[in-house]
Amino acid sequence: MFKNGNVAEEDYNKHIEAKNKARAEKERDKAQALEGKCHVITMDVQYVKLLPQIPASTLYYKTKLCCHNFTIYDLATKGCVCFWYNETQTDGQASTYASFLLDFLEETFLKGRSVPGKRSSDESQHESEEVSDSSADHSEQEMAHEEVDEEVGYEVADADITSGEFVLVCVMSGERKSVSYRYVAIVQDVLPDDEYNLLGLKSLDATEKTFVGVENDLFTATLDAILAILSKPLLNIKHLRGPRTQHVSSKNIDVFET
C-alpha cells in the first residue's frame, strides 16, 4: 500500500518498526522456551476450506459448507494442535477461539507442573473483537484446583447450586433401587427443602467428554444425590438442524449410564 501511495511514509515506517520489534521479542521468547524457562505458542486462523471441493457454478458455490481450522503451535516443542470445525457446529466469535485456547492450555499444561507461558497471535487474524463472558468461564482458582486434585468437581453445598449449574448426580434404579447410576445433568430450578429440577444429559462417545440433553428427561433430585458440581463446559455447540446443544467438557467425566 505504501508503494501505491495509499499510506503515508511516516505511518509506513512506524509499521515496519513495530513489526521488527515484535519479531525480535518473539525470537527472545523462543530462546527462553528452548531453555525450558517458559512455553511460547503462536496461533492463527487458517484458510477456509469449502466442501465439496468440486468445480461448480457461482450458484452452487453458495451451497458449499465452510470449514475452519484454528491452529496453535508450540515454538519450542514444535507440537501443533488443529481445531477443525464447520459452520454448523459453532461460529467465529471470540468465545469460540477462547474455548479452543482454554482446551489447549488445560490439556497441555495443567496435567502436570505448570511453567510461565507467552503467546503470540496475528492481530488481524479475525474481524471479531467480541469479548464474551461465556467464552472463558474458568478462573485461575478453578484451573489450579483441577491441576492439583485432578477432580471434575468439588464438595457440594446447597449455597453453591444455582440454576444452570452442571452437576454429577446419582440415580438409584432397578427393581429394588439397588443399581447406582451416575449422570451429568443441568440444574433447571432450585426447589425448597434442598431439592432440584434437573435435565439429564447423555454422553455421545467413549471419551465421556461430550454430552447432549435428552428430550423430556426432566427429574427431581435431592442435595444428597448430587455427587459433584462440574466445571462449565469449554464449548457449547448449538446445532442448526435441531434444538439440542452439545456440551464439551475439558476432562473425562466418570458417568455410569443405562
The closest alpha carbon to 233, from 164, 173, 182, 179, belongs to: 164
Q: Cell 486462523 belongs to which residue?
A: 45
Chain-centre distance of CA 132, in angstroms?
13
Average pLDDT, the chain: 75
What is the rounded distance in angstroms from the CA atom of residue 7 to the CA atom of residue 12? Answer: 7
pLDDT, tens digit (0-9, with 9 covering 90-100), for 55-97: 666 666 667 788 899 999 988 888 888 999 888 888 888 888 8
| pLDDT tens digits, one per residue of 150-192 | 334 445 666 678 898 898 998 887 666 777 888 999 999 999 8
**% of the chain beyond a pLDDT of 90:** 9
Grid cell 461430550 is found at 210
Q: Tell me, what's the pLDDT at 154?
A: 43
Q: What is the pLDDT of residues 99-115, one digit of tens each?
A: 888 888 878 776 544 44
Dump pLDDT digits (tens) for 186-209: 999 999 888 999 999 988 877 678
